[in-house]
């Protein structure tokens, strides 16, 4: 009887310990992830060296389908972090970008975005007088001069025209899943997409390509 009672006590104790450990584990799991520290462009440069294989070459094009790789210099860093999340999490369909981002931490993304964006474009203060009818809704977020009204939105001034066409078609057909852009692009006709892309690509000050340093063998 005593042995049975002792065994029962031990079983209850073990169960209590296990329950406590499980509870602690659930508590730890429920804690939110620590926010990234302040952006470190120097670390971002080290992490993003493969990015420059495409984004650091002037006029470089995606192989298939063929369209210009987007210019990132002058873009909003906050938007670039959102875009990186989209590629990593599958909200944007691009195999190469998914493989590039799947191993990046939150801090890596913050640092890479800070490095690639550099100094964001500043509004010119002289918006064009005529905005095409197709782009009237676009300017409420992306600005009449193509400079985004908030850092969570992309600036579009001077972006490659064929890239803008590609992006709008991806929103339209589901390759990108942002619900706001998907709803906006869903009813756009091909000629309207072309008008929007032509308008924003012709604006300045414009986005630019991040220069890629040449490798010199033997250099420090």
Compute the average pLDDT of residues 1-15.
44
* Structure confidence at residue 27 as a pLDDT band (50, 70, 90): very low
* 121 Rama class: left (phi>0) / alpha (psi -120 to 50) / beta: beta
Closest CA to 185 of 206, 166, 157: 166
The predicted model gives 76-84 an average pLDDT of 98
Closest among 198, 203, 196 to 168, alpha carbons compared = 196
Is it the case that residue 4 has pLDDT exceeding 50?
no
- SS3 category, 127: coil
Q: What is the mean pLDDT of the chain?
A: 85
DSSP code string of 153-206: SPP-TT--HHHHHHHHHHHHHTSB--HHHHHHHTT--HHHHHHHHHHHHT-SS-
Mean pLDDT for 15-36 is 48
- 219 pLDDT higher than 60: no
* Nearest alpha-carbon partner for 170 in 89, 141, 178, 201: 178
Encode pLDDT of 132-175 as tens digits: 999 999 999 999 999 999 999 999 999 999 999 999 999 999 99
- Pair 35, 109: CB distance under 8 Å: no
Separation CA 100–CA 83 (nearest Å): 12
Which two structure tokens, joined as six digits, stand for 124? Answer: 């010119």
Residues 57-62: what's their mean pLDDT? 92
């Amino acid at each position: 009887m005593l042995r049975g009672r002792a065994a029962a006590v031990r079983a209850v104790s073990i169960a209590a310990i296990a329950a406590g450990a499980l509870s602690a584990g659930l508590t730890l799991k429920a804690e939110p992830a620590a926010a990234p520290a302040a952006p470190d462009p120097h670390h971002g440069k080290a992490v993003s060296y493969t990015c420059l294989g495409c984004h650091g070459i002037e006029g470089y094009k995606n192989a298939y389908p063929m369209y210009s790789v987007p210019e990132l210099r002058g873009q909003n860093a906050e938007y670039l972090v959102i875009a990186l999340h989209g590629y990593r999490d599958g909200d944007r369909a691009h195999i190469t970008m998914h493989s590039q981002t799947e191993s990046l931490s939150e801090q890596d993304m913050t640092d890479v975005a800070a490095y690639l964006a550099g100094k964001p474009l500043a509004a010119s203060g002289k918006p064009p007088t005529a905005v095409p009818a197709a782009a009237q809704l676009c300017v409420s977020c992306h600005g009449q001069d193509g400079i985004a009204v908030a850092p969570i939105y992309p600036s579009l001034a001077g972006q490659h025209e064929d890239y803008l066409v590609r992006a709008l078609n991806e929103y339209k057909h589901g390759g990108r899943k942002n619900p706001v852009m998907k709803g906006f692009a869903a009813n756009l006709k091909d000629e309207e997409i072309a008008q929007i892309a032509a308008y924003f690509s012709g604006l300045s000050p414009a986005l630019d390509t991040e220069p890629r340093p040449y490798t010199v063998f033997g250099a420090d």
